Amino acid sequence: MAQNDTVKLIGSWASPFSIRARAALHLKSVKYEYLDEPDVLRSKSELLLKSNPIFKKVPVLIHGDVSICESLNIVQYIDEAWSSGPSILPSHPVERANARFWAIFIDEKIFGSLEAVGGAKDDEGRMAAAGKLMENLAILEEAFQKSSKGLGFFGGESIGFLDLACGTLLGPVSVIEAFSGVKFLRRETTPGLIQWAQKFRAHEAVKPYMPTPEEFVAFAKKKFNVE
């Protein structure tokens, strides 16, 4: 597929998963048209339904006449389809496999814990889910320490695939912290992730697309009709 084919991205400003795709396109210096779905949970455009008829979710990357769905899949596609800019995935097969593994851990284990905290029906269930979330974040902290080798990002000095995967957590964690009154990212347990989060938010490929914690919380309060 020619690299100059028309590129569009269907996303939503409050979707953490859309940030993955936008940051990846930015890293690769890809020019694209951004189509925002402002209330994707309640109303979906015809283009979104046509482009992602199975899951009906954002983000969706449209490259020429091809639609690519699911955020991690989109990031990998962007890395392979465009040679411009830095590589997003590691070049070594073992490092690539490890990056994919931890991205799955983030999407399945940590997001699962976040959903369990938010969906708990009583204090006992909420405490159990919060404990599991802290446990999973501690595991991710250990993975970061090993992967970063004392540098700023999961891959070392440069932002990469696992950083984009992990960055998706920052909005939801800030919302859960605000609603529960519990800090899950703590300097005594996740010092590396806290420093990483500051560098990630400030990165030029992320900052234009990442809402602030306050914006995430305000959106969640409106969504769930919470004062």
Give the CA diameter of the chain: 55
Q: State residue 227's pLDDT score.
A: 64
Instruction: State residue 8 phi and psi, 5-degree precision.
Output: -130, 150
**How many Å apart are CA 8 and CA 31, to the nearest integer?**
9
Q: State residue 222's pLDDT score.
A: 87
Q: What is the pTM of this model?
A: 0.94
**How many Å apart are CA 87 and CA 83, to the nearest integer?**
8
Domain limits of the chain?
A: 7-82, 93-224
Instruction: State residue 9 phi and psi, 5-degree precision.
Output: -130, 120
Q: Which residues pair with 211 in a beta bridge?
A: none
Q: State residue 80's pLDDT score.
A: 96
Q: State residue 102's pLDDT score.
A: 98
* Beta-sheet strands, E only, within 78-190: none
Q: State residue 39's pLDDT score.
A: 80
Mean pLDDT by 10 residues, the chain (227 residues): 78 95 97 92 92 97 97 98 94 96 98 93 92 97 95 94 97 94 94 97 97 94 78
pLDDT tens, position by position, 108-123: 999 999 999 988 899 8
pLDDT tens, position by position, 207-217: 999 999 999 99
Q: State residue 224's pLDDT score.
A: 77
pLDDT tens, position by position, 137-162: 999 999 999 999 999 999 899 999 99
Instruction: State residue 105 phi and psi, 5-degree precision.
Output: -55, -45
CATH fold of 93-224, please?
Glutathione S-transferase Yfyf (Class Pi); Chain A, domain 2 (1.20.1050)
Q: Pairing between strand 33-36 and 7-11?
A: parallel
Which CATH number is 7-82 given? 3.40.30.10
Q: Collect contacts of 64-71 with beta carbons under 8 A, ≥24 apart.
A: 64/1, 64/2, 64/5, 64/6, 66/1, 71/17, 71/18, 71/20, 71/21, 71/168
Q: State residue 3's pLDDT score.
A: 54
Q: State residue 2's pLDDT score.
A: 47
